[in-house]
A and B are shown apart, each in its own frame.
Chain A
Amino acid sequence: MHDRKREILTDVQKKQMDQKIAVYKGLCGECTELRRRCDFSDGAEKKVEKLLMVNPEFYTMWNYKKETLLHRVEHDRPLVLGSGCVEGVGATREMVTWKWVERELAFNAQVIEKRDIKSYCTWHHRKWLLEKIGDAAVLSQQLRTEKALAEQLLDAEDRNFHCWGYRAWVVAQLRNLGLYTDGDEMAHARKRIEANFSNYSAYHARAKILGALPKEAGAARVEKVKEEVELVKNAFYTEPTDQSGWMYATWLANLTGSAEPVSAVLEAARELHDDDPTLKWPLLASTLDPKCNKTELLEQLCAQDKNRAGYYRDAMGGCVGNYA
């Protein structure tokens, strides 16, 4: 429903559109009937794939694909490869399953890459496919491939939550296999941040790990947070009007209860404020200072961050907690 360009169609374009719709409707009718008849043949599948390339949101057709795969595995139907050699003679069910899954993953990737990178049911189908892989070695190899796919797509669109979410699921599976660590996760997020200091999704990934550090780690934990503040400061200085870094940093400052991270953030806020007193986020961050004149700062915020003046007035009246 999102992202169709606003345009006025000419008569010729309208006719072409009508033709496309007629073809699409015909295909829908055919595929619906094929499924009704439980047709799990190659011919049927070709039509379904054609339909999914046009409309990947047609979740029923992804379910039909699931049923098709399960049917093929159930009937131990090997995937016949080009040269006439029948793969799977003497093969285990796991091997047969994997061949079909592999083929399906390739088709699904085409839909994501060529048609719609934001289709929920398309991404879900990928997870379903991976859950069918029985062989541990094959699974860990494929998970690595999946991670690479998600990262390649994030290179193009670094806030896409489908990609972030899918990648998070994949690395959780790798973690369960002992093949992925917090260090790996921090490194990936850092790479994203260094490419774009406003990448809030990458800060989020780091927040999950830092937030989970046990309090018992004591000074080591504080050190990690201080280092993180230094990293985020790049965001403040690169683009002081972007709230991403500030939202993350103010949370970081309060995470450990130690005064040092707070001072580091306040210092940056003071510097940027001196440079330009109209900047909102340094003002807001300055309210973290236990010695500050909160009312005065909030008054300034009412003036500089007019959209949220009502919120700051609520804060002055004491009926908003935790607004920094």
Chain B
Amino acid sequence: MQTGPIDFAKHVRLSEAILFGALSPQKYDPNRMVLLYFALATVSVAGKVTALAEEKVRGIIEWIYAQQVPEAEGGGFRSTHTMGGVGLEEGHATMTQCALLSLIICGDDLARVDKKAVATHLRKVQAENGCFRSLSYGESDVRMMYSACVTCHLLDLWDSIDKEAAIQYLVSCQSYDGGFGWHPGSEGHGGNTFCCLASLALLGALDRVDTARAEKFLVMRATAHGFNGRPNKDADTCYTYWVGTSLALLQRHKGAEGFVPVDAGLLGFVAECQDAAKGGIAKDQATGTDLLHTALSLMGLRNLQLVDSCPPLDLRLGCLAEAVPV
């Protein structure tokens, strides 16, 4: 296994400690389902899911299904059990996405997902302008658009949403420089560019935008030491995923395989941002590590074929291609 200077074993140990320690019950974290996904994604991209104890994995699967919201309360999945209870919190677009991806990583076939309830949730959170909100009175931007598209893809719920409105919204988010912003008219940004391109790929509508210009914006994110998210900003390891995967997606869309025409010294940059003692990866060398940067750095490196730690990921989804139930 080609891993170079990336200490996968340490990142897996940290993720396991969080999965079976800090992320277990009694934590009031409104983003808990997202953190669960990042921890599982780290173990998965290291090729180590099958090494997890079976009953622990089953425990995670049961816990995720316990966050499923009944149709009468809005459908979808909420972040954590402490947010639940009658009328307390409805399903959240990003928690739904992360729940489904987490189930897949754990080897579940999604058979117990109440698709009708999720469809209700999607209809509730799609805005008139085609974009998606997090909750029925939450904020809307392309991050939740992406969450909704992943959900539609995994459960084949495209008929529950207005696809054309979603596509038009995405098209209107492309800025003059080729990057995509979080709202129409917003500045191009690496993270939002991924959300838009991956959404368009899932919608089968990449041809509706200027992919050459998008590629140029992304290529310009390379510094000698990592990708940044916008012109004249510092490099941050999470863009290894947002920018790197976007570039890989566009290569795939052009019919090219593998070769990504930019070198941002990523292996070295990510390696330096690892915490040698505790494991985990940070956004840069001065900051503490977190699960988001750990998972995204590793998945980004895999998508750019700079490490060979697991079978290929589905570039649009953020999980092993082979794990997605047919």
Please report A residues at the B interface, Cβ cutoff 8 Å: 1-7, 24-25, 28-29, 32, 35-36, 55, 57-60, 63, 66, 120-121, 123-124, 128, 159, 161, 164-165, 168, 198, 200-201, 204, 207-208, 211, 242-244, 247-248, 251, 306-311, 313-314, 319-323
A57, A120, A307: which contacts B263 (Cβ < 8 A)?
A: A307
Expressed in whole angstroms, the minimum distance between the Cβ of A197 and any Cβ of chain B is 10
**Which residues on the B side are within 8 Å of A2 (C-beta)?**
283, 287, 290, 292
Q: Is the CB of A165 within 8 A of B182?
A: yes
Q: What is the predominant secondary structure among interface residues of chain A facing chain B?
A: helix
Contact of B230 with A by CB under 8 A: yes
**Which residues on the A side are within 8 Å of B55 (C-beta)?**
none
Expressed in whole angstroms, the minimum distance between the Cβ of A105 and any Cβ of chain B is 17
Expressed in whole angstroms, the minimum distance between the Cβ of A192 and any Cβ of chain B is 13
Expressed in whole angstroms, the minimum distance between the Cβ of A181 and any Cβ of chain B is 16
Choose the segment among B109-117, B154-162, B215-223, B305-313 that binds chain A (4+ C-beta atoms closer than 8 Å).
B215-223
**Which residues on the A side are within 8 Å of B216 (C-beta)?**
320, 322-323
**Which residues on the A side are within 8 Å of B288 (C-beta)?**
4-7
B83, B220, B254, B285: which contacts A243 (Cβ < 8 A)?
A: B220
Q: Is the CB of B186 within 8 A of A308?
A: no
Contact of B224 with A by CB under 8 A: yes
Choose the segment among B9-17, B26-34, B39-47 that binds chain A (4+ C-beta atoms closer than 8 Å).
B26-34
Q: How far, in whole Å, are A306 and B265 apart by their CA atoms in the complex? A: 11
**Which residues on the B side are within 8 Å of A307 (C-beta)?**
222-224, 262-265
- Given the known inter-chain contacts A165-B182, A200-B232, please indicate yes or no for A311 contacting B261, CB distance below 8 A: yes
**Which residues on the A side are within 8 Å of B282 (C-beta)?**
6
Residue of A nearest to B188 (CB): A204
Q: Is the CB of B139 within 8 A of A121?
A: yes
Residue of A nearest to B27 (CB): A25
Residue of A nearest to B286 (CB): A6
Contact of B53 with A by CB under 8 A: no
Q: Is the CB of B233 within 8 A of A308?
A: no
B89, B213, B291: which contacts A322 (Cβ < 8 A)?
A: B213
Q: Is the CB of B139 within 8 A of A242?
A: no
Q: Is the CB of A310 within 8 A of B259?
A: yes
Q: Is the CB of A36 within 8 A of B88?
A: yes
Q: How far, in whole Å, are A123 and B185 apart by their CA atoms in the complex? A: 18
Q: How far, in whole Å, are A14 and B282 apart by their CA atoms in the complex? A: 21
B85-122 Cβ-contact flags toward A at 8 Å (1 or 0): 10011000000000000000000000000000000000
In this complex, how many residues of chain B approach chain A with their Cβ under 8 Å: the count is 60
Q: Is the CB of B212 within 8 A of A321?
A: yes
Q: How far, in whole Å, are A78 and B219 apart by their CA atoms in the complex? A: 56
Question: 6 A-B residue contacts at CB 8 Å?
Answer: A6-B286, A63-B135, A307-B222, A307-B263, A310-B261, A311-B261
**Which residues on the A side are within 8 Å of B223 (C-beta)?**
307
B276-304 Cβ-contact flags toward A at 8 Å (1 or 0): 00000011011111111100000000000
- Given the known inter-chain contacts A59-B134, A311-B261, A313-B261, please indicate yes or no for A120 contacting B139, CB distance below 8 A: yes
Q: How far, in whole Å, are A174 and B123 apart by their CA atoms in the complex? A: 31
**Which residues on the A side are within 8 Å of B259 (C-beta)?**
310
Residue of B nearest to A26 (CB): B28
The 8 A-B residue pairs whose C-beta atoms are closest, nearest first, are A310-B261, A124-B139, A28-B28, A311-B261, A4-B288, A321-B212, A200-B231, A204-B187
Interface hub of A168, A201, A247 (most chain B Cβ within 10 A): A247
Q: How far, in whole Å, are A251 and B176 apart by their CA atoms in the complex? A: 8
